[in-house]
Structure 1
């Protein structure tokens, strides 16, 4: 310190760990440092008087710069842990996606194999049996050729078998065609089938269907099982109910649809050793059990109710994978 000529007092300073040598400050009494890393520092200052004599001991100031929160050990550790968890979760997600794709491929392959087995079974049961019957009817005894009445009957049976064979082949082709995997296509095909089948049996067919059936997606298995159950219901009505009218209706719900087949025949009498189910429903006979199994196989619900002299009502309820928004369209006849 000099009171004679204070403007000749000179300073040098040094911040240990930052400055490599003393910094000439002249007569400036301030030092500037920016963006000091977090840590503990020692600031040293020496000065000389107006005679140029330096004080080598100088003055010392120790201070600490606190770190920002993102520079603390706990924040770095938390970030490292979060990064590790994120990498592990991402790796697990990728592994699960790969496993899901593998499972989906296996399921599709299994579905294809099951569909192929079903087609082979249909061909064996329907086409094979019909062709065998035609072959047997086409080889009568030599004496039968001299009997016109017998020959005519044989030809009539061959014609009926060939017609049934053609119908079975049409059903198989329809069942495997993916462009028919919608509800509207199924309803249209069943309506045409019911009309042709019932007209041939001399039974009046009444269709109570929506004007616009939505194209809800259906699997080939669902279409096939529902159609076979529907076909069985029509066959039972024609063969066992002595009806002269069958009414077929379709009701659309938020997440399902209900197909109902009702005949005005004499109804079904429960077997003596079977008690009727609540609501008058009954479930006896192989045909009814087959319908129940087919609908249960596609996750649906099968119900049948009948009263003596009041006809029989068969109901198939199927859950859909894509609910229809808005109200259901009106019926058509």
Structure 2
């Protein structure tokens, strides 16, 4: 006697038909929605890129253009002093060269280029010294005696420079400082930069502003941190720390504080 698996195959056929129709609908919906999803992903990527470009313009070019305006104002105020005017114009020329270098760095970044760490730090220190000199603020620079012979992504150097530009811009614009201590330290694969001023402290509105969020986002992108302490009338201390190599569990509990007094 033959074994009958299903006495009535109609329910099975109906279920199979429903399942097949459902699968076909899913496939058709996926084919319809996939181009739309791709378009949405492309739009989101475009929005992200537009935000990045806007952030770069805010953090880099705005500070540099302010510096150009400051130099021009100083030159015009001393137009009768030929030697002083020449010095200010030379500073403007150096700044234009620095802007050209930034364009070069952006191109290298897109090409996934790398820079020597020593070159990155030299560029940052030179910028800090010249920017503060233009603002007539005394800068005490402390540099490491030796720098490891290593390369870092161009993106790392660019984000770090833009963070420092914004911090110095805030010192000049808001702190009313006359002196700045700019300290660079290297311990194994940890880079630390300390910026300390003798100004009036950070205004409350800057603690939660768009620029401050950008600074922390930039440091997070390069696996770094930014800590700021400030008291009214006692200046501001900005402490940047960057691990140049992947951190090991043992190193997570050891944060070098060699830049602090």
Q: Which TM class, normalised by the smaller chain length?
A: 0.5 to 0.7
**Alpha-carbon distance in 2 for matches of 1:312, 1:124:** 22
Tell me the equivalent position of 1:261.
Answer: 193
SS of residue in 2 equivalent to 1:203: strand
Q: Distance in 1 between matches of 2:69 and 2:124?
A: 25
Give the drift of 1:158: 0.8
**Are 2:68 and 2:92, in contact at CA under 8 Å, matched by a contact in 1?**
yes
Deviation at 1:293, TM superposition (A): 3.4
User: What is the SS of the residue equivalent to 1:262?
Assistant: strand
Match of 2:29 in 1: 92
Unaligned runs of 5+ in 1: 1-63, 145-149, 253-257, 271-281
Matched, 1:228 2:162: yes
Q: Which has the higher helix share?
A: 2
Write the distance in 2 (CA, Å) between the matches of 1:288 and 1:186.
34
Q: Structure 1 residues 306, 213: closer, same or farther in 2, change over 3 A?
A: farther
Task: Establish whether residue 206 from structure 1 lines up as the match of residue 143 from structure 2.
Answer: yes
**Which structure's CA Rg is the greater one?**
1
What is the match of residue 193 of structure 1? 123
Once residues 2 and 17 of structure 2 are traced to their aligned partners in structure 1, the CA distance between those partners, rounded to angstroms, is 24
3-state secondary structure, aligned to 1:240: coil
Does 2:215 match 1:295?
A: yes
CA deviations 1:66-103 (Å, max 9, x no partner) are: 64349722222222222222222223333343222111
Q: In 2 relative to 1, CA 114–127 (structure 1 residues): closer, same or farther, beyond 3 Å? A: same
Alpha-carbon contact 1:246-1:261 (below 8 Å) kept: yes
Structure-2-length-normalised TM-score: 0.57
Equivalent position to 2:101, from 158, 164, 170: 170
Alignment CA distance shift 1:232-1:295 (3 Å): closer
Q: In the alignment, which of 148, 153, 164 is matched to residue 84 of structure 2?
A: 153
SS in 1 for 2:125: helix
Higher RCO by CA contacts (8 Å cutoff, separation 6 or greater): 2
Pick closer, same or farther for the CA change 1:116–1:179 going to 2, 3 Å: closer
Report the CA distance between 1:247 and its aligned residue.
3.2
The answer as to 2:29 corresponding to 1:105 is no
User: Which residue number in structure 1 is paired with residue 237 of structure 2?
Assistant: 313
Q: How many residues align?
A: 235
Residue 325 of structure 1 and its aligned partner are, at CA, apart by 7.6
Q: How does 1:1-333 map to 2 (within 5 A)?
A: 67-69=4-6, 72-111=9-48, 126=64, 130=68, 144=80, 150-179=81-110, 190-198=120-128, 203-206=140-143, 227-234=161-168, 236=171, 240=177, 242-247=179-184, 261-263=193-195, 266=198, 269-270=200-201, 284=204, 289=209, 291-295=211-215, 303-306=227-230, 312-315=236-239, 324=246, 326=248
Which consecutive residues of structure 2, in runs of 5 or more, have no partner in the other structure? Answer: 134-138
